[in-house]
Amino acid sequence: MVYTVTLNPALDCYVSPEEFAPGRDLRYSGCRFLPGGKGVNVSLLLRSLGVKTKALGLAGGFTGRELAALLEERGLPTGFVFLEDGLTRVNIKITPPGQPETALNGSGPEIPPEALERLEERLGELEAGDFLVLAGSLPASLPAGTYARLAGAAPPGVEAVIDASGPALLASAAARPFLMKPNREELAEAFGEPASTLEEAAALARKLQGLGARNVAVTLGGEGALLLDEAGGARFRPAVPGTPCSAVGAGDSFVAGFLYGWSLDGGLDQALDWAVSAGAATAFREGVASGEEVRAVYRRAFGRSPTGMECPRGAVLEE
């Protein structure tokens, strides 16, 4: 079972006025609410790939209840700890036809210490062999070591997968996670050193291993990904060729693809093949790809039955 934790999830609200200009009264008809947050994205794609998964995290108020309801409607079991005060943030995405998107992203509620303790209790109920994915930005009130603390709350034998940035990236390595997945920019920023070449990125990934991370995948956007494993091996996969559309969520898809590939028992090579396929499938469309789209990209890149590539517009995980 793969549990994901999203500490600062969102309800994304998409509105499409005819045009958008600041300082004006604008009208729109209809708005679409979609679940948002990195751990949530990982769980949605895993579920679509047929992997047993549950979305955990912190949620609050009517927006938090709506987020959980949207996930449950999509067949994803949830186990959010509900805050007594505060609302799950609403991120407003203004998408006028033919114009670039404007996003108003909320910062999220204040997190009281008791909420984190309740989440730790839930993580204590996981079982050896489970995976625990900790992904996305930390709420502003929580310290950099929060992911390491949460990973430590799970019983021995639970494998942590951490996608964090900034000081939290470096602090999380102490939990000896099975996998850490920074992108190139996050890695460079966290260490204050360049990661422009593959050699530089690999050197920083090794530094992250020096801090405790076991396997480190550095995603390189349209260039592919690098994986340094705990046995000292290094692998590079170029990106799957295709027409990019929107890479938002490609990193979350990479994590889901990696865990799916790993679950097939083909080792790190197969995990990496599925990871870059999932990242690409999401980069080639708007929103996070479905399991079916990921499989089509995998078959085209690594299997025998080729399929055409296109860039469909559509909601997250419509199946």
Nearer to Mg ion, 5 or 115 (CB): 5
Q: Give the interface segment with Mg ion, choosing from 223-231, 234-242, 251-259, 292-300 (CB under 5 A).
A: 251-259
Which listed residue (12, 130, 163, 252) is catalytic?
Answer: 252
How far is C-alpha 42 from the geometric centre of its chain's CA atoms?
Answer: 5
Strands 234-237 and 225-228: antiparallel
Q: Is 164 in the site for ligand ATP (CB under 6 A)?
A: no
Whole-angstrom Cα distance, residue 235 to residue 219?
Answer: 12
Taking the C-alpha atoms of 21, 23, 24 and 30 in order, what is their torsion angle to the nearest 10 degrees?
70
Site string for Mg ion, 197-236 (x = CB under 5 A): ----------------------------------------
Query: Is the separation of the CB atoms in 138 and 168 below 8 Å?
Result: yes
Q: Is 183 in the site for ligand ATP (CB under 6 A)?
A: yes
Nearest residue to Mg ion, scored by beta-carbon proximity: 251
Site string for ligand ATP, 184-223 (x = CB under 6 A): -----------------------------------xxxx-
Which string of DSSP letters, residue by residue, matches 48-98?
Answer: HTT--EEEEEEEEHHHHHHHHHHHHHTT--EEEEEESS---EEEEEE--TT
Nearer to ligand ATP, 209 or 282 (CB): 282
**Is residue 130 annotated as a catalytic residue, yes or no?**
no
Whole-angstrom Cα distance, residue 213 to residue 259?
Answer: 16
With contacts defined by CB under 5 A, how many residues of the chain interact with Mg ion?
1
Which residues are bridge partners to 134 per DSSP? 5, 162
Q: Is 251 in the site for Mg ion (CB under 5 A)?
A: yes
Burial class (CB in 10 A: 0-12, 13-18, 19+), 104: exposed
Q: Give the interface segment with ligand ATP, choosing from 120-128, 197-205, 238-246, 309-317 (CB under 6 A).
A: 238-246
End-to-end CA separation in angstroms for the chain:
22
Please choose which of Mg ion, ligand ATP, none residue 273 contacts, taking the beta carbon within 5 to 8 angstroms, the exact cut-off set by kind.
none
Please choose which of ligand ATP, Mg ion, none residue 280 contacts, taking the beta carbon within 5 to 8 angstroms, the exact cut-off set by kind.
ligand ATP
Chain contacts with ligand ATP (rule: CB under 6 A):
183, 219-222, 224-225, 239-240, 242, 244, 247-252, 254, 276, 279-280, 283
Active site residues: 252
